[in-house]
A and B are shown apart, each in its own frame.
Chain A
Amino acid sequence: MTTLDEAPCLKVENLDISIGDAIAVARGINLEVRRGETVALVGESGSGKTVTALSLIDLLPPPLRVTRGTITICGETITEATPDALNHVRGNRVGMVFQQPSSMLDPSCRVGRQVGEALQLHKGASRGEAFERAVELLREVGIPEAPRRARSFAHQLSGGMAQRVMIAAALSSDPDLLIADEPTTALDVTVQAQILGLLERERRQRTLSILLITHDLSIVSAMADRVVVMYAGGIVEEGPVETIMRAPQHPYTKALIDCSLMREAGSGDLESIPGTIPPPNRSIPGCRFHPRCPHALARRTGSVCASSEPEATRTAEGHLVHCWAVEP
């Protein structure tokens, strides 16, 4: 277990991300990942998870940009860092694993070279050394015939293989933090379990911190220590995984858990949340979730939900809920 006085591996304070200057896609994000901890960032598609992840290593595609707040990774303030300092953090202190593994590999570059790239950049390894180490890493992430696979190209790998390669590449220079953005979404269920097992094993062996971004709550309960739930660019609830999964307080979190298939489906019907997540360019006064919220308070006309945004309410140690209906 981690001690609280240790500086967090990742700390995000009051982060705002906008398209240009006008449209906010994420607002007031506060995040903390401590050493050796796995934090899951959960939400539907369009809730701003991936954008948040990319902002952490300052690789937001323009015109998306961070408009407010600070990001600190291993003591380096990303939001104020020079381009060189950023390049030193990326791949060295932070590894990144993405959703579509096959498209993340250069189609005309040997897999082994890409896995060893961070070693060449950050650890001063020669091309040959990096390649040799890449073969070892590939073996470590469970790729059979690693020496031969290192010489192959992206199109010769299955999705699961490609994701193992991406993990090997992300872990090659032994980073402190791994950001995994939907690492198993594009994979078969059986392969999903293998990849998650691999991530968990690496986390224990390396005392790695993981920020796991996913929409899949079954992954969350298996992997995470803490959960942060995002909706429409804002955090709605966060807390230890047991609390969130067993006693969620926010109506959105409750709805998400009801929708997830791991719940014993008594009636045989599949649950869904009525309505859709609002696009970033539509401004909603009050709580962003209130138009879809099933809670009686939100349904009442002229209620506080529709007029002002709820502040965080602490219901237990480390458990924060942004909802007017929750009493402290």
Chain B
Amino acid sequence: MLAWRANLPAGAMERFLLKRAIVLVVTLTLVSFLAFLVPWLGDADPARAIIRSRVADLALDSAAVEALRIRLGLDQPLLHQFFAWLGRVFQGDLGLSFTSRLPVADQILRAIGVSATLALSALFLALAIALPVGTLAAVHQGRRFDGIVTFIAQGFVSIPEYWLAPVLVLLFAVELGWLPSAGWSGFETLILPAAVLCLRPLAYFSQVMRASMIDVLHANYILAARSRGLGLAGALVRHGLRNGIQPVLTVFALWLAGLLGGSVVVEVIFAIPGMGRLIYSAVINNDMPMLQGSIICIVGLAIIINTAADVLYGVLNPTVTVSGDAR
């Protein structure tokens, strides 16, 4: 049984989730409309774009274009087309990819799984390092350890992935031969990209944790805990971490939502079949259904992750109810 439920009025959690579900549907509808308009943004004629995307150098046969237009329903009024499309989207049918001719939904599902594995590995690695490091930096505030941590964090934020990734590949794959240079075939291929991807969130998490633990260290309840006989470390573990970690959770959710959309640079460099590379090749190949589907899925996931973060926040902090108002 989840602890905080005892503190909620009956049905509050259900109401909260229902509200978020409505937000999800409304937002997805709006985003779908924008995604639906994408093909009309670049090329005035989607039918032309489709044919061009399939056969690059073919001189456009206007009869073929017309036939395709009628077959795809592109001659119908725009709003009519949109609702027909929206209906399919909510049934999970995102259409067929222009390039592979396979269902977009299947490919996105597979790619999101890959990106999620990579993102969660990188973020939990970052979290595992950032929590103790940030806490120690807070305890040693203003002293040498704190300065070194801040310096390194600034370095991590400034190192571009497109530089670091090839350098690590050259070092660990080419020179030392310890790890594969690219691909997606198990734990070994996960290490380098996760390491590259974790540095930036690591820097942010550790700095957020540091700031939040500095507040916690000065909190009265830590003094009270120490007056009961807990040492500083004991007081921080029993009463500090749970309070200090809350701001980190917020940042974590933001990063997770961002990274599930795929990291284009890392996925392209390491040849990882995730969302980043999927979107990258969809753009290159003018694969409109793939782009539309990706946008919708990423936005939907972001909303779901934020909802999950809010619920988790309520678990950690009993003064926050899930409706968002603090007492």
Contact = CB atoms under 8 A, between A and B. Distances in A.
Interface of A: 57, 59, 61, 83, 87-92, 94-96, 98, 100, 103-109, 114, 117-118, 121-122, 151-156, 166, 169-170
Contacts of A95: 227
Interface in B230-267: 230-231, 238-239, 242-243
Contact of B319 (A87, A88, A107): A107
Contact of B229 (A90, A151, A153): A90
B318 A87 contact: no
Given A98-B220, A105-B221, A107-B317, A88 B227 contact: no
B7 interface: yes
Nearest to A102: B220
13 contacts: A57-B227, A59-B226, A90-B227, A90-B228, A96-B227, A96-B228, A98-B224, A104-B224, A108-B317, A117-B230, A118-B228, A153-B318, A156-B7
Given A87-B229, A90-B226, A121-B228, 7 more contacts: A83-B231, A95-B227, A107-B319, A108-B319, A117-B228, A121-B229, A151-B6
Contact of A118 (B229, B316, B327): B229
A102 to B, nearest CB: 9
B51 interface: no
A88 B229 contact: yes
A117 B230 CA distance: 9
A265 B7 CA distance: 49
Instruction: List the 9 shortest-distance A-B pairs measured between CB atoms, nearest first.
Output: A91-B229, A91-B228, A96-B227, A104-B224, A103-B220, A106-B239, A106-B221, A153-B318, A90-B229
Contact of A91 (B227, B243, B327): B227
B84 interface: no
A90 B223 CA distance: 11
A59 B222 CA distance: 11
B225 interface: yes
Contacts of B226: 59, 90
A95 B224 CA distance: 10
Which of B219, B226, B227, B242 has the most chain A CB within a 10 Å cutoff?
B227
Interface string B270-311: 000000000000000000000000000000000000000000
A104 B223 contact: yes
Nearest to B317: A108
Contacts of B225: 106, 114, 117
A169 B227 CA distance: 10
